[in-house]
A and B are shown apart, each in its own frame.
Chain A
Amino acid sequence: MSTAAGGNAHDDVLVRARGLQVHFPVRSKGLRRERTGAVRAVDGVDLDIRRGETLGLVGESGCGKSTLGNALLRLVEPTAGRVEFDGTDVTALSAKALRALRRRAVMVFQDPYASLDPRTTVGQTVAEPLQVHGLHRGTEARAARVAELLELVGLDPSVASRYPHEFSGGQRQRVGIARALAGEPDFVVCDEAIASLDVSVQAQVLNLLRDLQQRLGLTYLFVSHDLAAVRHVSDRIAVMYLGRVVEVGAAEDVSARPQHPYAQALLSAVPLPDPAAERRRERIVLSGDVPSATRVPSGCRFRTRCPRAFAPCPDVDPALQEVEPAHTAACHLHGVVGVPVAAEERAGA
Chain B
Amino acid sequence: MSEPVLAVEDLRVRMDTPRGTAHIVNGLSYSVAPGETVAVVGESGSGKSVSVMALLGLLPKRAEVTGSARFRGRDLLAMRERELRAVRGDGVGMVFQDPMTSLNPVLSIGRQLTEGLLAHRRVSGKKEARERAAQLLADVGLPDPRAALDRFPHELSGGMRQRVVIAIALAGDPALLIADEATTALDVTVQAQILDLVERLQAEHATAVVWITHDLGVVAGIADRVLVMYGGRCVEDGTVDDVFERPAHPYTQGLLGSLPQLHDGDGGGPRELVAIGGTPPPPTDLPPGCVFWPRCPVRGDERCAGEQPPLTAVGGGGGGPVPHRAATFYDAARDAGEVGS
A interface residues (Cβ-Cβ under 8 A, vs B): 60-61, 168, 170-171, 198-204, 206-207, 225-229, 231-233, 252, 255-256, 265-278, 283, 285-286, 288-290
Smallest CB separation, B294 vs chain A (Å): 14
A206 near B260: Cβ-Cβ < 8 Å:
yes
Do A275 and B244 touch across chains, with their CB atoms under 8 A apart?
A: yes
Closest to B273 in A: A203
Residue of chain B at shortest CB distance from A61? B187
15 pairs of residues in contact across A and B, judged by CB atoms under 8 Å: A60-B188, A170-B279, A201-B279, A206-B260, A206-B273, A226-B260, A228-B262, A231-B262, A231-B263, A232-B273, A270-B217, A272-B263, A273-B216, A274-B244, A275-B245
Count of CB-CB pairs between chains A and B under 8 Å:
129
In the complex, are the beta carbons of A273 and B219 less than 8 A apart? Answer: yes
A131 CB, min distance to chain B CBs, angstroms: 31
* A200–B262 touching, CB < 8 Å: no
Q: How far is the CA of A206 from the CA of B259 in the complex (A)?
A: 10
Once A168-B279, A273-B220 are accepted as A-B contacts, the answer to whether A285 and B192 lie under 8 Å apart by CB is yes
Contact B262 A207 (CB under 8 A): no
Check if A203 sits within 8 Å of B244, measured CB to CB: no
| Interface-lining segment among B16-24, B55-63, B250-258, B327-335 | B250-258
Q: Once the chains bind, are A278 and B220 in contact (CB under 8 Å)?
A: yes
Residues of B near A276 (CB, < 8 A) are 241, 245
Q: What chain A residues lie within 8 Å of B193 (beta carbons)?
A: 285-286
For B159, list chain A residues within 8 Å (CB).
289
- In the assembled complex, which residues on chain A have CB atoms less than 8 Å from the CB atom of B187? 60-61, 225
Residues of A within 8 A of B275 (CB): 200-201, 203-204, 206-207
A271 contacts B215, C-beta separation under 8 Å: yes
**B 196-249 contacts with A by CB, 8 A:** 196, 214-221, 240-241, 244-245
Complex CA gap A161/B157 in Å reads 44
A170: which B residues are within 8 A, CB to CB? 279
Q: Assuming A61-B187, A204-B275, A227-B188, is B260 touching A275 (CB within 8 A)?
A: no
- The answer, yes or no, to whether B261 is at the interface (CB within 8 Å) is yes
Residue ID in chain B nearest A265 by CB atoms: B189
Using A232-B261, A274-B244, A285-B192 as known contacts, say yes or no to A198 and B272 having CB atoms under 8 A apart.
Answer: no
Bound CA span A231–B218, Å: 18
Most chain B CB inside 10 Å of its own CB: which residue of A200, A270, A285: A200
- Which of B195, B244, B262, B273 is within 8 Å of A227, CB to CB? B262
Judging by beta carbons under 8 Å apart, are A200 and B254 in contact?
A: yes
Contacts of A206 in B (CB 8 A): 260, 273, 275
A266 touching B188 in the complex, CB below 8 Å, given contacts A203-B275, A272-B220, A275-B244: yes
Across the interface, do A271 and B221 meet the contact criterion of CB distance under 8 Å?
A: yes
Q: List chain A residues, Cβ under 8 A from B217.
A: 228, 270-273, 278
Asked if B214 and A231 make an inter-chain contact with CB atoms under 8 angstroms apart, the answer reads no
- The answer to whether B160 has its CB under 8 Å from any CB of chain A is yes
B262 pairs with A255, CB closer than 8 A: yes
Output the least CB separation between B255 and chain A (Å).
Answer: 6
Q: Does B322 contact A (CB under 8 A)?
A: no
CB distance from B213 to the nearest CB of A (A): 10
Contact A267 B160 (CB under 8 A): no
Distance of A274 Cα from B240 Cα, bound (Å): 9
Interface flags, B81-93, vs A, CB<8A=1, else 0: 0000000000000
Residue in B143, B189, B277 whose CB lies within 8 Å of A266: B189
B97 at the interface (CB under 8 A from A): no
Query: Using Cβ atoms and an 8 Å threshold, which residues of chain B touch A277?
Result: 220
Inter-chain contacts of B258 with A (CB < 8 A): 199-200, 202-203
- A61, A202, A231, A268: the one contacting B270 at CB < 8 Å is A231
- Chain A contacts of B143 at CB under 8 A? 288
Complex Cα distance, B262 from A285, in Å, reads: 19
Task: Please name the residue on chain B nearest to A170 by beta carbon.
Answer: B279
Residue numbers in A under 8 Å from B192 (CB-CB): 268-269, 271, 283, 285
The secondary-structure label for the interface of chain A is helix
**Cross-interface CB contact of A275 among B157, B240, B274, cutoff 8 Å:** B240
Would you give the shortest CB distance from B179 to chain A, in whole angstroms? 14
Chain B residue numbers with a CB within 8 Å of A203 are 258-260, 273-276
B214 surroundings in chain A (CB, below 8 A): 198-199
A225 and B260 contact, Cβ closer than 8 Å, known pairs A170-B279, A272-B220: no
**Closest chain A residue to B159 by CB distance?**
A289
CB distance from B102 to the nearest CB of A (A): 19
The residue in A203, A228, A276 that gathers the most chain B C-beta atoms within 10 A of its C-beta is A203
Asked if B104 is at the interface (CB within 8 A of a chain A CB), the reply is no
User: Is B191's beta carbon under 8 Å from chain A?
Assistant: yes
Beyond contacts A199-B259, A200-B254: 15 other A-B pairs, Cβ-Cβ < 8 A, are: A61-B158, A171-B279, A199-B255, A228-B260, A231-B261, A255-B263, A270-B262, A271-B188, A271-B191, A271-B217, A273-B244, A275-B220, A275-B241, A283-B192, A285-B192
A141 to B77, CA, bound (A): 61
Of B44, B218, B259, B339, most A-chain CB atoms within 10 Å: B259
Do A272 and B262 have beta carbons less than 8 Å apart?
yes
Q: Whole-angstrom distance from the CB of A234 to the nearest CB of chain B?
A: 9
Q: Is the CB of A273 within 8 A of B256?
A: yes
Most central of B196, B217, B273 by chain A CB within 10 Å: B273
Q: Closest chain A residue to B271 by CB distance?
A: A232
Of the candidates B188, B272, B339, the one whose C-beta lies within 8 Å of that of A207 is B272
Task: Looking at the assembled complex, report how far the CB atom of A99 sits from the nearest CB atom of chain B, in whole angstroms.
Answer: 36
Tell me, in angstroms, the Cα distance from A294 to B82 when the chains sit together.
48
- Are B160 and A289 in touch, CB under 8 angstroms? yes
Chain B contacts of A274 at CB under 8 A? Answer: 220, 244
Q: Contacts A228-B259, A231-B261 given; indicate if A269 touches B188 (C-beta within 8 A).
A: yes
Query: Which of B189, B254, B272 has the largest count of A CB atoms less than 10 A from its CB?
Result: B189
Contact residues, B37-81 vs A (CB, 8 A): 43-44
- B residues within 8 A CB of A227? 188, 262
Chain A CB within 10 Å, residue with most, of B158, B256, B260, B272: B260
Q: List residues of chain A with CB within 8 A of the CB of B273.
A: 203, 206-207, 232
Please, how many angstroms separate the alpha-carbon atoms of A226 and B240 in the complex?
A: 22
A231 CB, min distance to chain B CBs, angstroms: 5
With a CB–CB cut-off of 8 A, which chain B residues contact A285?
A: 189, 192-193, 196
A232 near B188 (CB under 8 angstroms)?
no
A268 to B195, CA, bound (A): 13
